[in-house]
A = this chain, B = another copy of it.
Amino acid sequence: MPLSEFSLIERFFARRARRGPQRAVLGIGDDCALIAPAAGEVLAVSTDMLVEGRHFLPNADPLALGHKTLAVNLSDLAAMGAKPRAFTLALALESPREAWLEAFAEGLFALADRYDCELIGGDTTRGPLNLCVTVFGDVPAQAALRRDGARDGDDVWVSGTLGDARAGLGLMRAEWDASLFDERERASLHEALDRPEPRIALGLALRGLAHAALDVSDGLAGDLLHILERSRMRADVDVDAVPRSQALRKLPLDVQRQCALAGGDDYELIFTAPPHARDAILDAGARAQVAVTRIGTITALRHATDEPAITWRDASHAQLSLTLHGFDHFDAN
């Protein structure tokens, strides 16, 4: 296919990009975009690459894919307490079909516009479908929600409910019987997988409150461990306190736990904060219109040989021995 087709794509995205307010010093159309953080703040930067067959199925709905491509990147800004500002999009396509591109851009820009996030540059080329976004947000350097700030005695919190995206994937794969769920529940599980909502408002509300935060992309077990490793801490987590949706509760308890503790693609926030901040955290959740739930406690490493780890307990505080399988995205390896 001639390059001119790719120029058309670029113009298509560029035109959409200019609908919103221009927030960059210089946007699409030059060798580089020019951007500066808000006065006194720094830029938070994150890159995610989505690959067909791994992060989404070959026949994925392009509207949902456009949403999710940006959503997983905005989720990284949320986890940092950053305010969305701009993004670049590089995409490789085997054969550009106009209807597909139209729907993809629709999903992408609907989300971008909601968060006032401007497309400032990118690249289009021919190749196996690949979507790479780099996203930029504003945050005061000292207020950024890092992974290394968890302290002894902090509460561990999560937003929303966990495991729904993994349950939605299982539903799509017929790992469980669809008749377990009513129509609304099935829709909510698919929605969790296809259209995750980045917790931007919550991330902003947690500035100055949370000591550490990240977003759940690979599953609670693995992602909380990232906080513990960077902070050199341990955690006790009450498995029964991990918030699960009504739909997820239709599955057997062991499957619920696998989904909620080791399922990925949730894009909820895990964060830690001191007990005296509990009311403020609940208030932040209310303002951000998302439930926030305490699920455990951070504890210091007591001995020289202690390593960062999670101790799973049930509601009676008895220690559980769980074998968790990491989220395997869309392939069976």
- Which residues does A use to contact B, with CB under 8 Å? 1-3, 25-26, 29-37, 41-49, 51-55, 76-77, 79-80, 82, 88-92, 120-123, 125-128, 130, 132, 134, 136-137, 139, 141, 144, 146-148, 213-215, 218, 230, 326, 333
Smallest distance from the beta carbon of A60 to chain B beta carbons, Å?
A: 14
Verify B137–A49 contact, CB threshold 8 A: no
A127 and B76 in contact, given A36-B43, A46-B31 (Cβ under 8 angstroms): no
> How many angstroms from the CA of A121 to the CA of B47 in the assembled complex?
7
Our pick among B37, B43, B47 for the contact of A90 (Cβ within 8 Å) is B47
A47 and B132 in contact, given A36-B37, A53-B127, A80-B32 (Cβ under 8 angstroms): yes
Chain B residues positioned under 8 Å from A79 (CB to CB):
31-32
Our pick among B32, B47, B77 for the contact of A44 (Cβ within 8 Å) is B32
Chain B residues positioned under 8 Å from A132 (CB to CB):
47, 49, 90, 123, 130, 132
Verify B134–A54 contact, CB threshold 8 A: no
12 pairs from A and B in contact (CB 8 Å cutoff):
A1-B333, A34-B141, A34-B144, A35-B42, A45-B134, A47-B88, A47-B89, A48-B90, A49-B90, A54-B127, A88-B134, A130-B130
> How many angstroms from the CA of A80 to the CA of B1 in the assembled complex?
30
Verify B34–A42 contact, CB threshold 8 A: yes
Chain B residues positioned under 8 Å from A43 (CB to CB):
34-36, 43
Chain B residues positioned under 8 Å from A90 (CB to CB):
47-49, 132
Chain B residues positioned under 8 Å from A41 (CB to CB):
36
Verify A30–B146 contact, CB threshold 8 A: yes
> How many angstroms from the CA of A95 to the CA of B77 in the assembled complex?
30
A32 and B77 in contact, given A1-B333, A141-B25, A146-B26 (Cβ under 8 angstroms): yes
Chain B residues positioned under 8 Å from A326 (CB to CB):
3
Smallest distance from the beta carbon of A120 to chain B beta carbons, Å?
A: 7
